[in-house]
Structure 1
């Protein structure tokens, strides 16, 4: 992570691109487009941080009061769950950091902030599934923590296209620059 020459304060956060989550996205060009963003970042020397949701066996971190995580089936998003694996199209390289979170935001229950601080990373480029989940929660928390933000609108996906549109066109622009994978990748050349 340290020593990248271009945009040394920037990191691409690729969030919740896990097999069982991505399988719910019906858009066939989503993963190829996200792969383009990951490759552009790698080629520009921008760290790619992979954020995943993960729990211990038995989900001791997930309260029954939590509507999202308390309702998970036994074994979901544990080390033994093949659906918890990062999608092979976006597989991390050996030198790329994988952040495991315990809630919706990439910051919740993870060491993300420590990794960012240690790497001198203050500009976060966000992509992932779902726009109304991890992207929204991470964007809001990162803005409150004074990170500079860019959201790759077409690098995000949501089961509800209207919610995705409202977030990327009306909500995110209040706290982040919103652009496309192609436009962002073009700025790195």
Structure 2
């Protein structure tokens, strides 16, 4: 696991660090730890004039906009609590940030994320968030397919299942980009943006 470089135009893309998911414990690391590390990265990206993209997932309270198709996993049967889909206050409130609302796992599918990144001439994204094997992995796959350089801050993501997290980090992410720690990304930011 090594992050070798950051492109001149790199964006931080934060997946689903919102109230509902942050209330869960997270595995293998607590969601609060993921949030704290992501906040430091977001602050550093903003300080260097680089885009921060905050992605949230939402759904109609009655589930009417749920993705169709048969699955073996049970579907949600009750409305989520109010405010579950609001971005964590520690990240919110920066008018220069890009906000993306999705209704699927990937932040690219059914959104204008690709257009908003390309208009900013972004060629690389750094990913953090919840859940590693779902929203983060789906977004990483789509970013790779769209031709972005993908960097994954593995210590700034977590899952509901430690084995699923480990599988994504060890088996999938090396095929999509470079995986490292937030400290590696901070060091590269300091070196390349000085």
Report which stretch shifted further, 62-71 or 131-140.
62-71
1:95–1:174 Cα change, 3 Å: same
Q: CA RMSD in A?
A: 2.3
1:35-46 alignment, distance < 5 Å: 35-46=39-50
2:35 maps to 1:34 = no
Count matched residues: 181
Report which stretch shifted further, 51-60 or 166-175.
51-60
Q: TM-score, normalised by structure 1?
A: 0.85
Where 2:90 maps in the other structure, the secondary structure is: helix
Where 1:149 maps in the other structure, the secondary structure is: strand
1:55 deviation in Å? 3.1
Q: Distance in 1 between matches of 2:70 and 2:57?
A: 15
1:81 deviation in Å? 2.6
Decide whether the 8 Å contact of 2:19 with 2:87 is kept in 1: yes
> Which one has more relative contact order, counting CA pairs under 8 Å at least 6 apart?
2
Report which stretch shifted further, 80-89 or 36-45.
80-89
Match in the other structure for 2:185: 184
Q: TM-score, normalised by structure 2?
A: 0.83
1:8-157 alignment, distance < 5 Å: 8-26=8-26, 27=30, 28-56=32-60, 58-63=62-67, 65=69, 67=71, 71-76=75-80, 81-157=82-158
1:71 deviation in Å? 2.4
Which ranges of structure 1 fall in alignment gaps of 5 or more residues?
Answer: 1-5
Which ranges of structure 2 fall in alignment gaps of 5 or more residues?
Answer: 1-5
1:69–1:118 Cα change, 3 Å: farther
1:64–1:91 Cα change, 3 Å: same
